[in-house]
């Protein structure tokens, strides 16, 4: 490939996720709940009121992770438990908060929903996570970007890839402190994310996952459990979303700077995008753009 021959990867969807890595052991859990834990196949049931207490890197205050905000509640032998699935993902619901910074607020929330079970903080079972929780940037496209970069940066392919460019299209509240971590990753991997005015959506909640990894008594790590927060992508104006797709379609039809384009679409989470992406796929097909779904 000569320097005038350009190719690119355009990533759509798979927006960045901030993973809070929570490491526990069954011994840590049993210290707090005793034998009141049920494990059946890939399910772990903990008593209602069991909460994880974490200290997070770069944060001064403790945070309280409340799995009851995301997990199903069931009654076993006249007692209530919440169920976490090994290898599963549980999404935050609207009635309770998945993450809180004040114990009093946590007690008040649970008391409103389960007044006979959680009356005060003495009814909580607080599992303190010993290790400081690290924050890692995740998301499906992060993995793809790393893999593609590793492939094209290999000595065998590097001379032929001088014209390779990558671009990831997404929205983010750039005033959020987490944007610094996001920006650094894309700069390190030489991926374009657009100008600040193109990215910024005021008060858009970033995607956060609390990734719980539990070691059994033999020291083996069980499949991770993901507790994900509730986002508010509805605050993205439809006009901004439509304009982004229009600009991308126009680029696929008219952009003569690139001779080869690979469009990678995955994990679209905004319902409004489904209508727009169908039209985009027609344009990509007509423009002979290689598309991966």
- Whether the predicted pLDDT of 284 surpasses 60: yes
> How wide is the angle at C-alpha 247 spanned by C-alphas 241 and 252, nearest 5°?
130
- Whether the predicted pLDDT of 134 surpasses 50: yes
- Regarding predicted confidence, which is higher, 112 or 152? 112
Residue 160 pLDDT? 64
Structural domains of the chain, ranges and CATH numbers in brackets: 7-16+139-207+235-292 (3.40.50), 20-134 (no CATH)
Phi, psi of 111, deg, nearest 5: -65, -35
- Whether the predicted pLDDT of 258 surpasses 60: no
Quote the CA–CA distance of 42 and 53 in Å, as a whole number. Answer: 23
Residue 287 pLDDT? 86
Quote the CA–CA distance of 233 and 194 in Å, as a whole number. Answer: 19
Mean pLDDT value of segment 62-89:
96
* pTM, to two decimals: 0.90
Quote the CA–CA distance of 99 and 1 in Å, as a whole number. Answer: 50
Quote the CA–CA distance of 68 and 82 in Å, as a whole number. Answer: 6
First to last CA, the chain: 26
**Strands (DSSP E) along 86-128, which ranges?**
89-91, 99-100, 125-128
Taking CB atoms within 8 Å and a gap of at least 24, the contacts of 153-157 are none
Q: Assign 187 to helix, strand or coil.
A: helix
Secondary element (H or E) of residue 266: strand 260-266
Quote the CA–CA distance of 97 and 110 in Å, as a whole number. Answer: 9
Evaluate whether 44 touches 83 at the Cβ level (below 8 Å): yes
Residues 6+ apart with CB under 8 A from 81: 38, 45, 46, 47, 48, 73, 74, 75
Secondary element (H or E) of residue 283: helix 271-286
The length of the chain in residues reads: 293
Evaluate whether 80 touches 74 at the Cβ level (below 8 Å): yes
| Mean pLDDT of the residues in the chain | 91
Quote the CA–CA distance of 172 and 222 in Å, as a whole number. Answer: 33
Evaluate whether 195 touches 6 at the Cβ level (below 8 Å): no
CB atoms within 10 A of CB 138: 19
Quote the CA–CA distance of 115 and 28 in Å, as a whole number. Answer: 27
Mean pLDDT value of segment 49-78:
95
Residue 5 pLDDT? 62
Record the tokens describing residue 233, joined without a space: 């992508």
Task: Categorize the per-residue pLDDT at 1 as very low, low, confident or very high, splitting at 50, 70 and 90.
Answer: very low
Evaluate whether 97 touches 68 at the Cβ level (below 8 Å): no
């Amino acid at each position: 490939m000569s320097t005038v021959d350009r190719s690119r990867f355009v990533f759509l969807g798979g927006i960045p996720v901030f993973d809070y890595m929570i490491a526990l052991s069954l011994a840590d859990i049993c210290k707090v709940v005793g034998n009141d834990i049920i494990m059946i196949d890939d399910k772990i049931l903990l008593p209602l009121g069991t909460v994880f207490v974490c200290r997070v890197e770069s944060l001064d205050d403790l945070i309280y992770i409340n799995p009851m905000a995301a997990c199903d509640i069931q009654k076993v032998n006249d007692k209530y438990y919440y169920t976490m699935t090994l290898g599963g993902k549980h999404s935050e619901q609207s009635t309770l908060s998945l993450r809180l910074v004040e114990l009093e607020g946590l007690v008040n929330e649970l008391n409103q929903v389960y007044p006979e079970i959680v009356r005060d903080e003495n009814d909580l079972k607080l599992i303190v996570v010993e290790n400081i929780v690290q924050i890692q940037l995740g998301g499906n496209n992060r993995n793809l970007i790393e893999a593609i970069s590793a492939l094209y940066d290999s000595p065998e392919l590097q001379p032929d890839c001088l014209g390779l460019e990558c671009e990831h299209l997404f929205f983010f509240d750039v005033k959020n402190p987490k944007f610094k971590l996001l920006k650094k990753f894309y700069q390190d991997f030489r991926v374009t994310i657009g100008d600040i005015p193109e990215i910024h959506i005021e008060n858009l909640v970033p995607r956060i996952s609390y990734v719980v990894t539990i070691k059994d008594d033999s020291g083996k790590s069980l499949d991770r459990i993901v507790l994900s927060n509730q986002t508010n992508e509805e605050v993205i104006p439809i006009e901004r979303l439509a304009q982004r797709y229009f600009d991308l379609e126009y680029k696929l039809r008219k952009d003569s700077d690139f001779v080869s384009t690979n469009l990678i679409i995955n994990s679209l989470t905004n319902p409004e995008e489904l209508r727009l992406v169908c039209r985009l796929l027609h344009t990509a097909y007509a423009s002979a753009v290689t598309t991966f779904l």
